[in-house]
Amino acid sequence: MKRGELYRVYKGSQNDSKDFRVFLVVSRQVLIDTRFSTVICAPVYSNYDEIIQTQVEVGVDEGLKHDSAVYCDDLQSLSKSLLTDYVGALSDAKMEEVNTALRIALAV
């Protein structure tokens, strides 16, 4: 598992109306490589009206079926054991956009 990878997760959140949701792994690689059981992920939504500073557009180039957006304002801690259905990965340039969106979302 690597930072910047996308995974399809079954019922990632109890509040999610969809059976499956794609998540982007955003934890630092040092944490991912440890025995720690969870990682921080950002959900990907295909329904969005307008991109704001804390969202990053993704789509077919990243392995998704539809144009979508990574929501950096909705970070979630997920068990690594849920992240088994690999979808794709973001390019270095796209991850820079995610890094910027995360800084804005977290005000750091």
Query: pTM to 2 decimals?
Result: 0.92
User: Which residue is associated with the tokens 């794609």?
Assistant: 22
User: How far apart are alpha carbons 56 and 36 in whole angstroms?
Assistant: 27
Handedness of CA 51, 41, 9, 84 (dihedral sign): positive
Show the domains of the chain with their CATH numbers.
5-106 (2.30.30.110)
Per-residue model confidence as pLDDT tens digits over 59-106? 999 999 999 999 999 999 999 999 999 999 999 999 999 999 999 999
> Any residues with CB less than 8 A from the CB of 81 and at least 6 apart, and which?
37
- Of residues 24, 2, 3, 1, the one with CA closest to residue 12: 24
**87 or 16: whose pLDDT is higher?**
87
On whether the CB atoms of residues 98 and 56 are closer than 8 A, the answer is: yes
Rounded to whole angstroms, the Cα distance separating 40 from 22 reads: 13
